[in-house]
Structure 1
Amino acid sequence: MYTEAPSYIKSLQVFQSAGMKLLGVNMDREGIQYWNAVLERRSGEDALLYTIPTFQNPTGVVMSEMRRKELFKFCMDNRLPIIEDDAYGDIWLDEEPPRSLKSMDENGMVLYLGTVSKVLAPGLRIGWIVGAESVVERLGDVKMQMDYGASSVSQWIVKAVLSSPQYDLYLEGMRESLKSRRNLMIEALEKYFKSIADWQIPQGGFYIWLNLKHNVAMDQLFHLALKERILLNLGSIYDFRKNNALRLSYSYIDEEEIMVSIEKLSQVVQRLQS
Structure 2
Amino acid sequence: MPLCKGTGMDGLKRRFDQLAWPEAEKAAKQAGATVVWPFGACEQHGPQLPLATDALFADRILNSVLEHLDGEWPIWRLPLQSIGFSPEHQPFPGTLSLSAELMLQLVDQVGGQLAAMGVERLVLLNAHGGQIGLLQVAARQLRLRCPSMGVLPCFIWSGVDGLSSLLPPEELAHGLHAGQAETSLMLHMAPELVGPSRPVDGAHGPRSALAPPDGWSLEGAAPCAWLTSDLSQSGVIGDARLASAELGLELEQALILHWTQRFKSLLSSDWPPTESVVDWPRKS
Question: How would you bin the TM-score normalised by the shorter chain?
Answer: under 0.3
TM-score (norm 1): 0.27
Q: Which has the higher strand share?
A: 1
TM-score (norm 2): 0.26
